[in-house]
Amino acid sequence: MRYFADIEFDGTAYSGWQIQPHSPSVQQTLEEALALFLRCKVDVTGAGRTDAGVHASQMIAHFDLETSQDPDWMMHKLNGILPQDIAVHRIWPVRPDAHARFDAVSRTYKYYVTLNKSAFHREYSWYLVNEPDFGLMNQAAEMLLSTVDFTSFSKLHTDTKTNDCRVTEALWTPLEDGRWVFTITADRFLRNMVRAIVGTLMEVGRHKLTLEEFKKIIESKDRCSAGDSAPAQGLFLHKIVYPDNLTHI
């Protein structure tokens, strides 16, 4: 029996989603918690990877069990065992071939920056000493909607077969508390892609890059030509969308 789980986590204390040899990960923490009360080894597969320090408002993962279990019971047990920085909001049965990663239709990330220094936002946003030109950054972000190859914003030497992505949303919007959020939605994302985009857009907003230079960075298909990656703590995996036909019948 295969189950999907809707998970939320604060990534501050973790090396990312994926299991690492010598540092804690969200995936490892979930697998250990499941094994503790199910009394068997359980492999958990996530919808994607998140880097060290990156958060998730929603991560979807799947796991298989030999016998069916009550989803609400499993959710209650998990939330009683997991640390305070990981929460499970829902578990539900799906088709045996449903896959948390490969069946996702779209993913949305949000990146938060703040113009007001705050002791409470420091782990969840990037503090900017000077306000950038968000209007100009949105003009640059609009170019991403017509971009196909995102090599310039991908981590080097990855094992992906293609760097093609279809971005359907890329926009900076203000929040009421002096923060701004960059929302980006695509069918798939490359390693480090969102942080590389945000860091390069920030160069545009600081008038260190023109719109034409930003366009040339995209066309160069060269990660070394783009800006530095934005800090991890401002990034949240926000939402993952799936087809309606994955529910177990």
Q: For residue 38, what is the DSSP state?
A: H
Q: How many whole angstroms separate alpha carbon 229 and alpha carbon 226?
A: 9
Q: How many whole angstroms separate alpha carbon 85 and alpha carbon 63?
A: 21
> Among all residues, which ones are annotated catalytic?
51
CB 5 within 8 A of CB 242: no
Nearest Cα to Cα of residue 187 among 241, 236, 124? 241
Specify which residues 94 forms β-bridges with: 2, 247
Q: How many whole angstroms separate alpha carbon 62 and alpha carbon 96?
A: 10
